[in-house]
Amino acid sequence: MAQQAYVTDTDNGGSEPERPGSALRRLRGRTARLLDVLRNDRRVWRRGLVLAALALLLALVMVAHAQIPNSIGNLGSLTETFLPWLGIGIPVLLGLGALRRSASALLAVLVPLVVWLNVFGGLLTDKATTGGDLTLATHNVNADNADPEGTARAVAAAGADVLALEELTASAVPVYERALASTYEYHSVQGTVGLWSKYPLSGVRSVDIKLGWTRAMRATVTTPDGPLAVYVAHLPSVRVKLEAGFTARQRDHSADALGEAIADERLPRTALLGDLNGTMNDRALNAVTSQLRSTQGAAGSGFGFSWPASFPMARIDQIMVKGVEPVSSWTLPETGSDHLPVAARVDLATDS
């Protein structure tokens, strides 16, 4: 039996069924009173003007981040590295605006909300599809990794056909070679980076990224669907220092050198695997990012943050491709490293 809504009759102490339409009339009345307040009470517009200004400034930073100069502590690159996290300011400003009962602040917060959704909303959808004929993976294993054998087993279990490892130490290389030997028939280590493959490798060489020691390499992987040029790179680390800001000059020079090497690549199908110590938004990596597609952006779900492993805040470990079609992209479970491994499935038969 349907239940009836009751309202209290304060005159006789009893209750009686609510009359049809009374709830709607009350809602209309409250709406009218609210609109009347917004029209006539100037205080709701005058309150929270500072919050409104902050909301508009937040939107401006997200829209015009490319105009923030790098001449002062690489502030532009630092902002771009953590650009998605600026969205945290939106619910904060929204809550403060509600506490202040400020119509101006609440209305202004809509601006950064729209901007954030326009810039990053597409990353929130799952773009992965089925298919593909080659799985790629990369992992900065961390030079201080206390369990290299366990790390090797973990990444091998992901089923990658081609695996890149960065930050290899001379003492750990034999451990990784033994642990991965049963899964990967072919491999090469150049300096502190290495490539393991289920398919033959040729044209293996180090790549000079202007460091004075080897942290990048190139090889041709002969897959059943044809050759694929694979680059493995570990760009220099960046630091945030009070006296110097975001110190990334060496990383930026190495990125330019890596971009030149990729531009000179003759094979039409190319993949870059590695720790770039920068995100796709960072302008300093334009020499690389302008030539290749991010598999996470094209076929991933979410931001795919990879560092630090305990609480990922940025995707600095990248799988990028040219001449092939990304099918899916994902992060792998935490290992003994401070980075998460990342993987991607690509279709070599389809030219992007």
Query: Is the Cβ–Cβ distance between 97 and 48 less than 8 Å?
Result: yes
Residue 24 covered by a domain: no
Q: What is the percent of the chain with per-residue pLDDT over 70, rounded to a whole number?
A: 85
Judge if 197 and 272 occupy the same domain.
yes
Q: Residues 17-76: pLDDT tens digits?
A: 555 567 776 766 665 555 555 555 666 667 889 999 999 999 999 999 999 988 777 888
Residue 95 covered by a domain: yes
pTM of this structure: 0.83
Judge if 158 and 306 occupy the same domain.
yes
Residue 152 covered by a domain: yes
The structural domain count of the chain equals 2
Judge if 185 and 324 occupy the same domain.
yes
**What CATH number should be reported for the domain holding residue 314?**
3.60.10.10
The domain boundary, picked from 70, 90, 124, lies at 124
Query: Is the Cβ–Cβ distance between 206 and 180 less than 8 Å?
Result: no
Quote the domain boundaries for residue 292: 134-347
Judge if 61 and 155 occupy the same domain.
no
Judge if 262 and 328 occupy the same domain.
yes
Given the structure tokens 């630090």, which residue do they identify? Answer: 308
**Per the structure block, which two tokens stand in for 279?**
């995100």
The domain boundary, picked from 99, 124, 149, lies at 124
**Diameter of the chain measured on Cα atoms:** 95
283 phi, psi to nearest 5 deg: -60, -25
The domain boundary, picked from 124, 153, 170, lies at 124
Judge if 233 and 163 occupy the same domain.
yes
Judge if 167 and 221 occupy the same domain.
yes
Residue 2 covered by a domain: no
Instruction: Look at 9-23, 38-52, 139-153 and tell me which has the smallest mean pLDDT.
Output: 9-23
Judge if 81 and 138 occupy the same domain.
no
Q: Residues 175-200: pLDDT tens digits?
A: 999 999 999 999 999 999 999 999 99
Peptide bond into 308 cis (omega under 30): yes
Mean pLDDT over each residue of the chain, to the nearest integer? 89
Residue 29 covered by a domain: no
Determine the pLDDT at residue 273: 98
Judge if 196 and 241 occupy the same domain.
yes
d(CA 280, CA 293) in angstroms, rounded, equals 9
Determine the pLDDT at residue 42: 61
Judge if 340 and 295 occupy the same domain.
yes
Judge if 254 and 294 occupy the same domain.
yes
d(CA 146, CA 122) in angstroms, rounded, equals 38
* C-alpha 45, offset from chain centre: 37
Q: Residues 274-296: pLDDT tens digits?
A: 999 999 999 999 999 999 999 99
Q: Residues 223-270: pLDDT tens digits?
A: 999 999 999 999 998 876 544 445 678 999 999 999 999 999 999 999
Determine the pLDDT at residue 38: 52
Q: What is the DSSP string of 68-135?
A: S-STTTTHHHHHHHTGGGGGGHHHHHHHHHHHHT-HHHHHHHHHHHHHHHHHHGGGGSB---S--SEE
SS (H, E, C) 170-230: CCCHHHHHHHHCCCCCEEEEECCEEEEECCCEEEEEECCCCCCCCCEEEEEEEECCEEEEE
d(CA 242, CA 203) in angstroms, rounded, equals 44
